[in-house]
Amino acid sequence: MAVSAHLPDQLEGAKTDTALTVMLSQIQESSWFGAALVVVIFSAILGAIMSTGDSALLSISSMLTRDLYQPWFARNASQEQLTAVGKIFSVVLVVAVTTLTIYLNFREGEITLVQLLGMKFDMLIQLAPAFMIGIHWKGMRAGPTFLGMAVGLVFSLSFFWISGEGDGLLVWIKNSGFNPGLYGVTINLLIAVVGSFLIGRKRDGRER
């Protein structure tokens, strides 16, 4: 909003994601203090990105090692073996994410920060039923909950590749004005709740 008010000519025909770079460019050219300030700002931004990125990478590799590899493939693995496997998972994840980034950049053209944030929130919101309902309802089952998250995630992220032109239900959903993640979490919620209810009812019938 500040850039739009003070530098309206600089934003004509540009995407809103470029407002920060336009502002920093003006500050950098104003004086030596402005140039030094921009260096500090970019250092802070990179530091925040690296802090979030390495935390997410460590969390994912730890989950893959502890929750998948150890229970299914190496129950008696030592801590040294688990650490080595975790490092391998980290390298594989970095290569996979980098490859996906390059692929999306060439396939879709320039990817904006808003699009990436939208994908991030589409992914994070799928955790809501598991946390919010699972805390208060003891009948929540792991199988339907995981299936609901997977289906909701795939459904939400599929809209990233839909152009939004033409007819059909998916195009209507994308142009409806609501984030696709909301539709995905609705499907996620139905699968988790209905599936857990059916499993619990079936088990109660067997116990009787």
Percent of the residues in the chain that have a pLDDT greater than 90, as a whole number? 5
Tell me, what's the pLDDT at 208?
Answer: 52
Token reading at 138? 């003891």
Question: From CA 85, how far away is CA 128, in angstroms rounded?
Answer: 30
Q: Where are the domains of the chain?
A: 52-111, 112-203
Which of 24-28, 110-114, 177-181 has the highest mean predicted lDDT (pLDDT)?
24-28
Ranking 67-81, 158-172, 184-198 by mean pLDDT, the lowest is: 158-172
Question: From CA 12, how far away is CA 191, in angstroms rounded?
Answer: 46
pTM, rounded to two decimals: 0.59
Token reading at 189? 């919620």
Q: How deeply is 156 buried, as exposed, middle or buried, from its count of CB atoms within 10 A (0-12, 13-18, 19+)? A: buried
Mean pLDDT to the nearest integer, 166-185? 74
Tell me, what's the pLDDT at 14?
Answer: 54
